[in-house]
């Protein structure tokens, strides 16, 4: 005989596991099936014909079995959905017309005139702040997307199609989405990555169906409007409204206009790179980029206003849905905003139709809408983070943080408390829940953020909740500013609230950015680990009870395993020396067999941004998290201006300089020396004749001497001879003139690989003899290399290099053509690998 526990009749049943809700939602299987099709085409490539045939066969199978064998019919319908997803992705990304603008691109870039329609509102970037680390200061620029319909041929215009990315050195004021323009510029083929780990710009443009770059230099004058077309375009009207809003915010909130414009209107050009990066580093960029959070706040505010005004629920639902859809489109139609707008619209639709809404069904419907609008959005970090956060928040946090049912005794105690105590306890619980949600979402999102941006932001746990409150206040107040700004002084109180809230946001973000260990840069976790992590997260969210606890334990073990695996010291039996393709500049990464990492130079004429785009991603791609030493060849900006950005991302043990480096009176040198001092980096000065080792790798300094020679910094460039297992690599910097004569006067044994002096320039690498019968130049005859690597700007001539070094049997590889060059030294010999060209050569065989 069993005895019922006390109050058994009053006990609530355990909450339903989330997976049951997803199992009941009819759209969830279709969302999963469409995702499988997208993944299949993205990863292995599904031929268009195969996808179409599969879709048709599956559709026929569904029609023939849906009445007789419903279960088989459902399977056929899911197969059809998956095939349609693959076809949609393939068509979006790979199917273009025969007259597509991409077919007009050539190498090198060609001058061209095109006519087209602005497919998007141009982004107008302000002139960046003065940067002492730039050789040429940047000016205001504009970018946009042009839907081409004609190309200037020989004597006549010929039809064309497709989309081109338009980049203009100047402001495209007075032009809007939908306007027809004629542009004269240089047409280029978008570049893929030149270095391992580098972001794939070509793939990014292809995701937007853009197949060419059109660049206009020095002025916006070559962009001429032929016809005003924005009035016939929905996005043109939305862009004009956004422009009016920008001017209103600049007038009413002048001190925080940029931040207000980014927050309220989704204008990513309103803040400069440093301001955006502060939000990225602290892990709170979502409070600026128009996302689901913004739409939920505004939707809640509008709903509250309508209820207070006595508007009927069905009418209010229509108004909220239409407003949020328009707001999402006006702010650029980002996947996160579309997701939020669609889910809110589904809820509003349930209110209008008086039907219950299954949240899982709304979630799947939003996913399908995003896939339908742009099948490449699901592969972006912003889209993934948006859906992931909502999934964990709705089906995880709401259950985990739900207050437990009180016992009868606890209920009596609660009823006996006074109003002030109840309010205080409720407030404390709200604060606790806010920080708990912030912690959960930060932990869950961290691996995905790390994979996309190589930064982890523990400080987001602390500053996330106050920033959500401050930006929500600023969002509502700023929205009221836009509404009442035509009334003049009526906007003043709302403008001040907006201004104070945003000023507080900046203060909180600045404080978080300065907090020690508030953010950490690191290599991205491997894909297999990410898949395992998020599979376990899904299990923890979808299941209840013992099963959920076991999955949580497995998740913790997986986290520890991934962390420990990332901390295992790197070691190898070979030395790797990689000449990165950074344009006109230099960065050579030396990886010793014992795991030590050394850099020779870190700079380029395009500025410090190259470290963020090229050097750091390569190091993280190689699993490198620490730099043991950086050699700076000389005090020219294009060889050292990446050091401050490098210091932000990596701990550096030591920086080695030439005797005259710090003596050069230059704002760039002063900035770098100040950065080294700020980070407490040890420096040393080396001179010719010094030798040192990094495990099995030996270094010999060939130049400069302790004093002289006189002249520019190039003549005192640091020359290093690197040895490993009897193989040699010669690093020359910008060596030329008297310095080059001094170095080549002392004979050395032939080297395996050599960095062409001064970026392959003719003055430092000129061949001797008559042009019709050139002979080896001074450096070529002295070093007698097997391979010469030239780190130079794209389009720079290389014929003189082939003539000079070819005379001694050397091969010349320039990094714009072949990409990064990796030299691998082993006891069996030396090999060279060209990343972009995909070529591997054996330079020396073992002896």
Q: Which pTM value belongs to this model?
A: 0.91
Residue 701 to residue 730: CA distance in whole angstroms: 10
Per the DSSP assignment, residues forming a β-bridge with 813 are 789
Residue 455 to residue 702: CA distance in whole angstroms: 39
Asked whether 551 and 536 are in contact (CB, 8 A), the reply is yes
Asked whether 120 and 144 are in contact (CB, 8 A), the reply is yes
Asked whether 198 and 120 are in contact (CB, 8 A), the reply is no
Kindly state whether residues 743 and 608 are assigned to the same domain: yes
Residue 333 to residue 340: CA distance in whole angstroms: 11
Kindly state whether residues 270 and 219 are assigned to the same domain: no
Angle subtended at Cα 337 by Cα 334 and Cα 341, rounded to the nearest 5 degrees: 135
What is the model's pLDDT at position 839? 94
- Mark which of 72, 94, 116 sits at the end of a domain: 94
Kindly state whether residues 714 and 790 are assigned to the same domain: yes
What is the model's pLDDT at position 790? 97
How many domains, the chain?
6
What is the model's pLDDT at position 460? 93
Residue 10 lies in a domain: no
What is the model's pLDDT at position 783? 96
Kindly state whether residues 728 and 769 are assigned to the same domain: yes
Kindly state whether residues 543 and 595 are assigned to the same domain: no
SS3 525: coil
Residue 429 lies in a domain: no
Q: Exposure of 39 by Cβ count < 10 A (0-12 exposed, 13-18 middle, 19+ buried)?
A: middle
Residue 30 lies in a domain: yes
Output the CA torsion sign for 629, 635, 640, 645. Answer: positive
Residue 449 lies in a domain: no
Kindly state whether residues 589 and 737 are assigned to the same domain: yes
Widest pairwise Cα distance in the chain? 111
Kindly state whether residues 584 and 634 are assigned to the same domain: yes
User: Which domain, by its residues, includes 781?
Assistant: 575-845
Kindly state whether residues 661 and 739 are assigned to the same domain: yes
3-state helix, strand, coil in the chain (%, to 5): 50, 20, 30
What is the model's pLDDT at position 5? 44
Residue 762 lies in a domain: yes
What is the model's pLDDT at position 1? 37
Kindly state whether residues 329 and 268 are assigned to the same domain: no
Q: Residue ranges of the alpha helices (H) in 524-679?
A: 527-542, 545-567, 609-610, 616-621, 637-640, 643-649, 667-678
Kindly state whether residues 83 and 220 are assigned to the same domain: no
SS3 272: coil
Residue 421 lies in a domain: no
Kindly state whether residues 67 and 203 are assigned to the same domain: no
Q: Residue ranges of the alpha helices (H) in 543-625?
A: 545-567, 609-610, 616-621
- Mark which of 387, 416, 440 sits at the end of a domain: 387
Residue 452 lies in a domain: no
CB atoms within 10 A of CB 831: 17
Residue 63 to residue 780: CA distance in whole angstroms: 74
SS3 235: helix
Distances (CA, A) of 626 to 42, 598, 606, 620, 699: 34, 9, 24, 10, 20
State how beta strands 682-685 and 654-657 pair.
Answer: parallel
- Give helix 292-308 / helix 313-330 axis angle, nearest 10°: 150
- Mark which of 37, 69, 94 sits at the end of a domain: 94
Q: Which residues of the chain have pLDDT under 50?
A: 1-11
Tokens at 293, concatenated: 């959070």
Residue 398 lies in a domain: no
What is the model's pLDDT at position 289? 62
Per the DSSP assignment, residues forming a β-bridge with 373 are none
- Domain CATH for 795: 3.60.15.10
Asked whether 195 and 581 are in contact (CB, 8 A), the reply is yes
Kindly state whether residues 690 and 829 are assigned to the same domain: yes
User: Residue 305: which residues within 8 A CB-CB, separation 6 or more?
Assistant: none
């Amino acid at each position: 005989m069993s005895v019922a526990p006390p109050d058994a009749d009053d006990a609530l049943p355990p909450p339903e596991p989330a997976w049951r809700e997803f199992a009941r939602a009819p759209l969830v299987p279709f969302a999963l099936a469409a995702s499988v099709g997208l993944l299949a085409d993205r990863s292995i490539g599904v031929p268009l014909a195969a996808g179409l045939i599969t879709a048709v066969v599956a559709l026929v199978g569904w029609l023939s079995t849906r009445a007789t064998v419903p279960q088989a019919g459902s399977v056929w319908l899911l197969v059809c959905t998956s095939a349609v997803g693959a076809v949609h992705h393939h068509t979006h990304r790979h199917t273009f017309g025969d007259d597509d603008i991409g077919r007009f691109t050539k190498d090198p870039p060609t001058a061209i005139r095109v006519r087209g329609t602005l497919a998007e509102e141009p982004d107008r970037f302000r002139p960046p702040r003065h940067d002492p680390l730039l050789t040429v200061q940047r000016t205001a620029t504009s970018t946009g997307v042009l839907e081409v319909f004609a190309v200037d041929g020989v004597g006549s215009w010929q039809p064309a199609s497709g989309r081109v990315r338009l980049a203009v050195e100047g402001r495209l004021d007075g032009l809007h989405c939908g306007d027809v323009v004629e542009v004269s510029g240089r047409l280029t083929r978008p570049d893929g990555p030149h270095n391992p780990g580098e972001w794939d710009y070509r793939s990014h443009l292809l995701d937007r169906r853009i197949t060419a770059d059109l660049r206009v230099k020095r002025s916006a004058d070559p962009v001429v409007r032929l016809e005003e077309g924005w009035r016939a375009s929905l996005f043109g009207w939305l862009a004009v409204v956004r422009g009016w809003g920008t001017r209103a915010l600049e007038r009413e909130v002048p001190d925080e206009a940029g931040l207000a414009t980014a927050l309220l209107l989704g204008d990513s050009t309103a803040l400069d790179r440093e301001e955006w990066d502060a939000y990225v580093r602290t892990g709170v960029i979502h409070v600026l980029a128009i996302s689901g959070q913004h739409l939920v706040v505004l939707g809640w505010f509008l709903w509250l206003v309508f209820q207070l005004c006595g508007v009927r629920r069905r009418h209010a639902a229509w108004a909220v849905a239409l407003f949020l859809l328009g707001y999402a489109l006006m702010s650029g139609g980002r996947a996160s905003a579309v997701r939020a707008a669609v889910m809110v619209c589904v809820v509003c639709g349930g209110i209008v139709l008086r039907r219950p809404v299954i949240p899982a069904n709304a979630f799947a419907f939003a996913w399908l809408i995003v896939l339908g609008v742009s099948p490449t959005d699901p592969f972006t970090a912003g889209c993934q983070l948006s859906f992931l956060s909502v999934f964990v928040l709705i089906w995880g946090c709401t259950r985990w943080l739900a207050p437990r049912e009180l016992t009868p005794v606890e209920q009596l105690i609660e009823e006996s408390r006074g109003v002030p105590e109840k309010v205080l306890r409720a407030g404390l619980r709200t604060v606790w829940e806010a920080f708990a949600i912030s912690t959960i979402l930060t932990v869950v999102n961290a691996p995905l953020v790390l994979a996309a941006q190589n930064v982890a932001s523990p400080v987001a746990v602390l500053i996330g909740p106050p920033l959500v409150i401050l930006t929500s206040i600023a969002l509502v107040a700023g929205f009221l500013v836009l509404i009442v700004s035509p009334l003049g002084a009526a906007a003043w109180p709302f403008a001040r609230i907006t201004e104070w809230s945003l000023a507080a946001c900046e203060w909180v973000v600045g404080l978080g950015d300065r907090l020690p260990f508030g953010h950490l840069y690191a290599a991205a976790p491997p894909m297999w680990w990410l898949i395992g992590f998020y599979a376990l997260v899904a299990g923890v969210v979808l299941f209840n009870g013992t099963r959920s606890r076991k999955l949580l334990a497995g998740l913790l073990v997986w986290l520890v395993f991934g962390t420990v695996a990332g901390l295992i010291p790197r070691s190898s039996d070979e030395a790797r020396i990689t000449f990165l393709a950074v344009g006109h500049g230099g960065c050579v990464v030396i990886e010793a067999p014992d795991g030590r990492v050394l850099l020779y130079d870190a700079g380029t004429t395009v500025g410090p941004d190259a470290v963020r785009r090229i050097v750091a991603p390569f190091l993280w791609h190689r699993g490198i998290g620490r730099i043991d030493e950086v050699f700076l060849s000389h005090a020219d900006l294009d060889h050292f201006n990446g050091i401050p950005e490098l210091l932000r991302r990596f701990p550096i043990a030591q920086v080695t300089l030439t005797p005259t480096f710090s003596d050069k009176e230059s704002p760039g040198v002063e900035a770098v020396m100040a950065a080294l001092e700020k980070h407490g980096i040890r420096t040393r000065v080396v001179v010719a004749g010094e030798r040192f080792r990094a495990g099995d790798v030996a270094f010999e300094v060939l130049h400069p001497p302790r004093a002289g020679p006189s002249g520019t910094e190039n003549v005192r460039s640091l020359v290093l001879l690197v040895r490993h297992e009897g193989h040699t690599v010669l690093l020359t910097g910008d060596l030329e003139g008297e310095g080059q004569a001094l170095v080549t006067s002392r004979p050395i044994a032939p080297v395996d690989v050599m960095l062409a002096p001064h970026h392959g320039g003719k003055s430092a690498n000129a061949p001797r003899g008559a042009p019709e019968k050139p002979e080896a130049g001074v450096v070529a005859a002295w070093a007698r290399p097997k391979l010469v690597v030239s780190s130079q700007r794209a389009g720079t001539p290389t014929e003189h290099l082939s003539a000079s070094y070819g005379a001694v049997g050397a091969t010349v590889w320039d990094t714009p053509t072949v990409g990064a060059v990796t030299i691998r030294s082993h006891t069996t010999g030396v090999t060279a690998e060209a990343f972009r060209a995909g070529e591997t050569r054996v330079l020396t065989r073992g002896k």
